[in-house]
Amino acid sequence: MTNVQTLLKEHRTFPPVPAETLGFAKWHVGSLEEYKKLHARSIQNPEAFWAEEAQKLAWFQHWDHVLSWDAPDAKWFVNGKLNACYNCVDRHVQSGHGDSCALVWEGEPMAPRTSHPTAASKYASEPEIKRVTYRELQEQTSRVANALKHLGVKKGDVVTIYMPMVPELVIAILACARIGAAHSVIFGGFAPHAISERAMDAHSRVIITADGGYRRGEVVPLQKNVEEAVNQLANHGHIINHVLVLKRTGHEPPSTRFASGTTPANVKATSIHPPTKFHWWHDLVARVSDACPCEVMDSEDMLFLLYTSGSTGKPKGIQHTTGGYLTFVNTTARLTFNLVPDTSQMFWCSADIGWITGHSYVLYGLLMNRVPTLLFEGAPNFPDNGRFWDIIARHKVTQFYTAPTAIRTFMKWGTEWPEKYDLSSLRVLGTVGEPINPEAWIWYHENIGRKRCPIVDTYWQTETGGHVVTPLPGATPTKPGSCTLPMLGIDAAIVNEQGEELGANQGGLFCIRKPWPGMLRGVYGNRERFISNYWGRLKDPKTGTPFYFSADGARRDEDGYFWVQGRVDDVIKVSGHLLGTMEVESALVSHPAVAEAAVVGVPHEIKGSGIVAFVTLKGSWATKNPGRQPDDALRAELTSHVAKEVGALAKPDQIRFAEGLPKTRSGKIMRRLLRDVAAGVEKITQDTTTLEDFSVVAKLRADEE
């Protein structure tokens, strides 16, 4: 396979197909003309469009007016009252769908399907599967909501959630929404430091976790990570009052065992009073009532915080509110995947709920639309490389949504894996998280969609809440590599630094010129960052009103199709996950051997971007104070140090030792130069005696920067 950057020349356009050929009664938007008409109308009068969409939710009290816009502050559905859990669960029970399937969950452990002699497994041949109805969700969310209340959680509090992909994660999130507490979910792959940093920023006093989760057959020690985070927080004077622990794996080591309501031995913060109490989920939930009314929330009350990486080392708590976010996600899920409320569809988004894709399109968008959502706990290659296709075949998945990185990995594994399975239930395929290279698009189309299924390449961000540029499967002819046209109600444009719209094929900055309901309402506790990151750079040249800037470079072609070129700030997309270069740099310099670090992204065949770290060491091997040697042992140590500080996804692909980093006269690291240097060398340099000497290049380039 070629490098992601060396793109196949692919000029084909793929027209939409009739709805019936894919088993749909109709497309919600059935032609390009219809889309264009609807889009034009939605942009001329966004308030009318979004009011109509908001009517599809259940409101306890109607809004006074649709939008109040004092840029960059938007209030949607002003004074409207509703509850997110009610919209996802109770409403369906009340309308007679209590016994319908809301979610299907499949646990990871299972034996390989192959009859290969080495395939013996400690696991059963069939995986554990649970089907949860709306009525069960209502009962369970009520119980957990009451358990949270028992732990002192009140409306407006932030509850941190760090769990594996199990039904109880959905229940925990909805339980928070039920009582009006905001949830802040942290991806289970993050390290203790990431938990403590986020819990502290969010002023969160309660954490929900599990003893462990399964990943590639191994147990991820979630409870242990929380214990470490609790200790770190206590050292900073931030006390976690309670931790609610779901028993998932039952593998906890003796040191982390605890009796419900006590403090495990690992939690050293016992000098604090009262000490952090750990409670077993099953114990607490059994002791409370299964009736808990849904709190009446204002449309603009915070529904959740989700931390995302920025160009500084500190993650940003992106704030989403109730009415606007739910309306936007309900609409975009329905239109992009042609959802129809019933059980004839089975939607599977393979993202973890710890990311925005999981929030919007595993959980909220699906439950609100009353379409069963599939949750898978594990990895695509456990117990073998056919797991995803096996899941699609067994559960008759109709819409499948995944990331380009995953598709490139499947390509590497070969077509023999999907070929073994019946994928004929599939109707629409989606991708998200990073640009998809045409090779991967075509592979997905041919080998997974079997040339029948439309592909929706959805462009959006944690901050946008839902899809802002995407094909609609019945309306938009697709071009591999392009996320095509704006969502209804989204006024997207490519502009220059002056905010002027650019002509066809001129590269510029991606912006959204009008507010939309799913837009972020703030960066938690950091107004300045909210303004400078998103609203400070671009404005309407005529009125001076700020435009929302996504920090992506893009162009539109002669048909108005968007082609996203990638980030223009110091964040990189590694396997579709956003990582601030500063986060990795801070982790590296926290190692005692490291003096300075500069991290850049380089094109990577599978991951989209790989991480290259240039590192200088304390002391000098040439002087009396030798410091640590720049060798492979140190490379390995630094790699695991980053994994420990941030999480495995931040591990550098290459660590390159340098005598000094190239800097401008004003002392700024010349990142552009480092990117060039990093991109020029494909392989990790194993020759530990070669140290990068940037002094010459730096002198040459100093005047340019």
- Please spell the DSSP secondary structure of 137-189, one letter per residue: HHHHHHHHHHHHHHTT--TT-EEEEE--SSHHHHHHHHHHHHHTPEEEE--TT
Residue nearer to ligand PRX on the CB measure, 345 or 405: 405
Residue nearer to ligand PRX on the CB measure, 171 or 202: 202
Question: Residues 546 to 575: which contact ligand PRX by CB under 6 A?
Answer: 550, 552, 564, 567, 573
Residue nearer to ligand PRX on the CB measure, 505 or 695: 505
Question: Quick count: other Cβ atoms within 10 Å of Cβ 122?
Answer: 7
Question: Residues 523 to 542: which contact ligand PRX by CB under 6 A?
Answer: none
Taking CB positions, which residue lies at the least distance from ligand PRX? 462
Q: Output the smallest distance, CB 523 to ligand PRX, in A.
A: 13
Q: Which of 107, 433, 474, 662 binds ligand PRX (CB under 6 A)?
A: 433
CB 563 within 8 A of CB 556: yes
Distance, in Å, from the CA atom of 399 to the CA atom of 339, rounded to the nearest integer, reads: 9
| Number of residues forming the site for ligand PRX (CB under 6 A) | 20
Residue nearer to ligand PRX on the CB measure, 46 or 471: 471
Tokens of 663: 């800097």
578 belongs to the binding site for ligand PRX (CB under 6 A): yes
Q: Which amino acid is at 117?
A: P
Q: Output the smallest distance, CB 115 to ligand PRX, in A.
A: 39
Question: Quick count: other Cβ atoms within 10 Å of Cβ 676?
Answer: 14
Residue nearer to ligand PRX on the CB measure, 578 or 612: 578
CB 574 within 8 A of CB 566: no
Q: Output the smallest distance, CB 344 to ligand PRX, in A.
A: 27
Most distant CA atoms of the chain, gap in Å? 79
Range in contact with ligand PRX (rule: CB under 6 A) among 176-184, 451-459, 511-519, 611-619: 451-459
Q: Output the smallest distance, CB 333 to ligand PRX, in A.
A: 13
Residue nearer to ligand PRX on the CB measure, 224 or 334: 334
Q: Output the smallest distance, CB 461 to ligand PRX, in A.
A: 4
Q: Which of 24, 76, 361, 459 binds ligand PRX (CB under 6 A)?
A: 459
Q: Output the smallest distance, CB 577 to ligand PRX, in A.
A: 6
Residue nearer to ligand PRX on the CB measure, 256 or 431: 431
Q: Which of 249, 357, 399, 575 binds ligand PRX (CB under 6 A)?
A: 357
Question: Quick count: other Cβ atoms within 10 Å of Cβ 578?
Answer: 21
Sheet containing 508-512: give its strands across: 492-495, 508-512, 548-556, 562-567
Residue nearer to ligand PRX on the CB measure, 107 or 576: 576
Residue nearer to ligand PRX on the CB measure, 436 or 597: 436
Range in contact with ligand PRX (rule: CB under 6 A) among 263-271, 430-438, 597-605, 628-636: 430-438
β-strand pairing of 594-604 with 608-617: antiparallel
CB 433 within 8 A of CB 405: yes
Provide the Cα torsion 95, 101, 102, 108; round to 10°. Answer: 170
Range in contact with ligand PRX (rule: CB under 6 A) among 70-78, 114-122, 374-382, 453-461: 453-461
Question: Residues 171 to 200: which contact ligand PRX by CB under 6 A?
Answer: none
Distance, in Å, from the CA atom of 283 to the CA atom of 258, rounded to the nearest integer, reads: 12
Q: Output the smallest distance, CB 449 to ligand PRX, in A.
A: 17
390 belongs to the binding site for ligand PRX (CB under 6 A): no
Distance, in Å, from the CA atom of 476 to the CA atom of 502, rounded to the nearest integer, reads: 23
Range in contact with ligand PRX (rule: CB under 6 A) among 47-55, 132-140, 175-183, 457-465: 457-465
CB 15 within 8 A of CB 451: no
437 belongs to the binding site for ligand PRX (CB under 6 A): no
361 belongs to the binding site for ligand PRX (CB under 6 A): no
Range in contact with ligand PRX (rule: CB under 6 A) among 209-217, 336-344, 459-467, 652-660: 459-467
Residue nearer to ligand PRX on the CB measure, 304 or 694: 304
Q: Which of 67, 333, 366, 432 binds ligand PRX (CB under 6 A)?
A: 432
Contacts of 387 (CB under 8 A, 6+ apart): 378, 379, 380, 381
Range in contact with ligand PRX (rule: CB under 6 A) among 93-101, 169-177, 431-439, 658-666: 431-439
Chain centre distance of CA 229: 22
Report the phi/psi class of residue 192: left, alpha or beta, with left for phi > 0 and alpha for psi in -120 to 50. alpha
Residue nearer to ligand PRX on the CB measure, 281 or 510: 510
Q: Output the smallest distance, CB 360 to ligand PRX, in A.
A: 8
304 belongs to the binding site for ligand PRX (CB under 6 A): no
In three-state form (DSSP H/G/I as H, E/B as E, the rest C), the secondary structure along 189-237 is CECHHHHHHHHHHCCCCEEEEECCEEECCEEECHHHHHHHHHHHHHHCC
For residue 511, which of 486, 531, 530 has the smallest C-alpha distance? 486
298 belongs to the binding site for ligand PRX (CB under 6 A): no
Tokens of 24: 């749909």
Residue nearer to ligand PRX on the CB measure, 97 or 521: 521
Q: Which of 83, 462, 586, 616 binds ligand PRX (CB under 6 A)?
A: 462
Q: Which of 402, 447, 461, 476 binds ligand PRX (CB under 6 A)?
A: 461
Residue nearer to ligand PRX on the CB measure, 258 or 304: 304
Distance, in Å, from the CA atom of 532 to the CA atom of 104, rounded to the nearest integer, reads: 42
For residue 192, which of 695, 643, 595 has the smallest C-alpha distance? 643
Q: Output the smallest distance, CB 610 to ligand PRX, in A.
A: 16
For residue 506, which of 424, 562, 575 has the smallest C-alpha distance? 562
Provide the Cα torsion 677, 682, 685, 691; round to 10°. Answer: -10
Tokens of 545: 């009103």
Q: Output the smallest distance, CB 551 to ligand PRX, in A.
A: 6
Return residues touching ligand PRX (CB under 6 A): 308, 356-357, 432-435, 457-462, 483, 550, 552, 564, 567, 573, 578
